[in-house]
Structure 1
Amino acid sequence: MTELVHGTTGEVIEYQPVSPLEVEYIIRELGDRIERSVKILDQLQRARYDAETEYSKAFEQAKLTSKREMYSDRRSEAKIACLPLEREVNEAKAKLHHAERLQEALGRKLSGYQTIKKGLEAAYGAGGVSR
Structure 2
Amino acid sequence: MTDIINQASGELVTYEPVGPAELELMIRVLTDRLEASVPVLRAMWHDRYEAERALIEGRAKAMLTAKGATVTEKRAEADLASLPLRLEFDLKKEALHAGEELQKALTAKLYGLLNLNKAVTATYQSYGHGR
Question: Is the structural similarity TM-score above 0.5?
Answer: yes
Identity between Structure 1 and Structure 2 (%): 37
3-state SS of paired residue (2:74): helix
Q: For each residue in 1:6-63, what CA deviation from the matched residue of structure 2 results, as whole angstroms up to 9, or x when unmatched?
A: 5447x7x542111111100010000011011010000000000000000100000100
2:86 and 2:6 map into 1 onto residues whose CA distance is: 34
3-state SS of paired residue (1:57): helix
Higher relative contact order (CA 8 A, sep 6+): 1
Instruction: Give the alignment's TM-score, normalised by structure 2.
Output: 0.91
Point out where structure 2 has 5 or more consecutive residues left out of the alignment: none
Letter in 2 for 1:17: P
1:62 and 1:37 map into 2 onto residues whose CA distance is: 37
User: 4+ residue stretches of structure 1 with deviation over 3 A?
Assistant: 6-9
Letter in 1 for 2:111: S
2:34 and 2:91 map into 1 onto residues whose CA distance is: 23
Letter in 2 for 1:55: L
Number of residues of Structure 1 aligned to a counterpart in Structure 2: 127
Letter in 2 for 1:81: A
Higher strand share: 2
Instruction: Give the alignment's TM-score, normalised by structure 1.
Output: 0.91
3-state SS of paired residue (1:4): strand
Relative to structure 1, the CA distance from residue 6 to residue 43 in structure 2 (aligned partners, 3 Å threshold; closer, same or farther) is: farther
Match of 1:69 in 2: 69
Point out where structure 1 has 5 or more consecutive residues left out of the alignment: none
Q: Is the 8 A contact 1:4 1:26 kept in 2?
A: no
Q: For each residue in 1:103-127, what CA deviation from the matched residue of structure 2 results, as whole angstroms up to 9, or x when unmatched?
A: 0000000000000100011000000
Match of 1:99 in 2: 99
Match of 2:40 in 1: 40
